[in-house]
Structure 1
Amino acid sequence: MYWPRLDPDTEQRMRARHARAAKALDVRVEPGGEFWGWAGRTLGAPGRTAAGQPAWLRLVSCPEDKASGKLRDGALDAQHVLGDLDGRRPALLAVHDAVDDGTAYRAELSARVDQPVLSDDPVLQRDLQLPDSWWADLTGTLEKVAAVDTDRVAVRQQYMDRAIPEFVGIPAPAVTCWSAAHSDLHWANATAPLRILDWEGWGQAPEGFDAATLYAYSLLQPDTAARVRDAFPVLGSPAGLAAEATVCAQLLQTVARGDNLTLGGRLRHWSQELRRR
């Protein structure tokens, strides 16, 4: 359960809205298995449809005036454009929208993934011994995503131009290739056998962005981090520099805000390597 910074009022409100969404979609929520997103912004739980199909009901909340755009429609867009990626992405079955007291809620009903995520925390806390077939499935799936044509944007050039000099200490590297990416590929969003969860933020990013993200969240486990680099030769190459610098800047920015503090030292070391390159 990924449950940081959750206050009791948020917990009560989100559980109540989740129950309403389940009723609206005719889903019976099963006890146990709650999964909270950052600061209680999302709440997911297993359930079954009226036809008995295993499903996952995820509720997303945001201020009403921000209930639009990339994150809001990410799952819907992914279903329309990517489908289930040969079973690697849980199919979206239905959505339900509601607004209450200035907060907008979207409930997303998806096919359930029965395998547990590889980590309860996005930052990997233990080395993983995953078979070569898992890594082949991952690289193949991300290649299929990268080949998709989309006008969705996950990383903006304006952000790179501002954040990379501030947090990494180099000018933003030129992007040699923009391609579609999941954009939030960490260990709490993946399972074995491979399923990749939470597609709300997918879109165009510098080549190698997903690989760089997974590498960043592996930095506390050197063996797994090395395995990520082996699987994705773009890391360490000139073509991957823009993606690596962007991900490093993003996470160093979170450290500056008081989050992901366990990664701080490793990220600063990574930024030094990027400056040398």
Structure 2
Amino acid sequence: MTEAFTRAVNELDATVDGPEVWGWHGRTLSARVLSRMRGQCWLRLMSAPQDKAMGKIWEGNRKAADLFDTSITKPVLYDAVEETKDGHTYRAELSQYVTEPVFSPSPVLSPDTHAPRASWWESLRADLAYVAKTPTDRTAVRQEWADRCVPRFLDLPAPQITEWETAHGDLQPANLTGGTPYLLDWEGFGRAPVGYDPAMLLAYSLLAPDFAARVRETFPVLDTEAGRVAQIVVVTELMQSASRGDHPELVPALHALAADLA
């Protein structure tokens, strides 16, 4: 990864200008760079076995750039390069450098987290409304997955998803900046149950009552039947993730929310 990152930096005519930032399970490597043409930028490298370098995750940021770069608050994608070496393919994406820090270093908010100012929520609500009505052929959630996983992880019948919209797909506090907010990390966007993005943000904020209350206030869809379905889907996803060792501290709150939704 580090060698591929260096090659990408050189090919994009840039120099490294900040510390390495490794992504989830080491699947990505990023850093601030200085581009000769564009100044400060963010360079993100992802890798996959050569025969798996395709599909939703691989193409997500590029397709999101085509749909959203001039319409909502997200980093602009400037350029990308790919190479295949020793059975792996690497994709490096050069994007706008956002000076604002992320809202939280962890997806799960700590109990003492306070809600941002009203303009932050207004911007987020407007951007998600634009995303929701944008047509796409990408899929973030499938009914077949819900049919299989909701009974397994929640011991509940799987709800039938009858209302769909386009979603960011991973709307958690570490993918939002604290000032505007910018919406980061678009590799998983696609069609999902109505209310999916607010449900995801709520689930990750369950340990932070002040923030969670503002999520509910800002997105009244959560109090509808569609929102209930979206929350069941999200809780199932996070329980599945927890079964692999992710964020065990959130599990009791997820169980309590599932009981409320049943």
Runs of 4+ residues over 2 Å off in structure 1: 83-86
Matches within 5 A, 1:95-110: 95-110=80-95
Distance 1:100 1:243 in 2: 41
Q: CA deviation at 1:200?
A: 0.6
* SS of equivalent residue, structure 2 residue 220: coil
Instruction: Report matched runs for 1:68-217 at 5 Å.
Output: 68-86=54-72, 88-125=73-110, 126-191=112-177, 192-217=179-204
> Match of 1:66?
52
Offset at 1:77?
0.6
3-state SS of 1:259 partner: coil
Confirm whether residue 250 of structure 1 aligns to residue 237 of structure 2.
yes
Contact 2:143–2:160 (8 Å) recurs in 1: no
2:25 aligned residue (39, 58, 68):
39
* TM score, norm. by length of structure 1: 0.90
Deviation at 1:188, TM superposition (A): 0.8
Shift of 1:163: 0.9
Residue 67 of structure 1, CA deviation: 0.5
Paired with 2:71 and 2:102, the residues of 1 have a C-alpha distance of 18
In 2, Cα distance between equivalents of 1:219 and 1:15: 36
Whole-angstrom distance in 1 between the partners of 2:57 and 2:163:
23
Counterpart Cα distance in 1 of 2:182 and 2:21:
16
Q: Between Structure 1 and Structure 2, how many residues are aligned?
A: 260
Q: Confirm or deny: 8 A CA contact 1:173 1:241 kept in the other structure.
A: no
Q: Give yes or no for contact 2:79–2:95 (8 Å, CA) kept in 1.
A: yes
CA distance in 2, matches of 1:187, 1:120: 8
Quote the Cα distance in structure 1 between the aligned partners of 2:197 and 2:27.
23
Give the match for residue 221 of structure 2: 234
- The one-letter code matched in structure 2 to 1:142 is L
Partner amino acid, structure 2, of 1:215: L
How far does residue 169 in structure 1 lie from its aligned partner after superposition? 2.1
Structure-1 separation of matches of 2:152 and 2:42: 40
Deviations 1:198-241 (A, max 9, x none): 10110100000000111111111111111111111111321212
Q: CA RMSD in A?
A: 1.2
More moved, 165-174 vs 200-209: 165-174
3-state SS in 2 of match to 1:229:
helix
| Structure 2 unmatched ranges of 5 or more | none
* Structure 1 contact 89–195 (Cα < 8 Å) conserved: yes
Unmatched 5+ stretches in structure 1: 1-13
Contact 2:31 2:42 in 1 (8 A): yes
Distance 1:146 1:212 in 2: 14
Q: What is the percent sequence identity of the aligned residues? A: 44
1:52 Cα offset (Å): 4.5
Counterpart AA for 1:44: S
CA distance in 1, matches of 2:217, 2:78: 36
Q: Distance in 1 between matches of 2:68 and 2:37?
A: 25
Relative to the length of structure 2, the TM-score reads: 0.95
SS in 2 for 1:234: helix
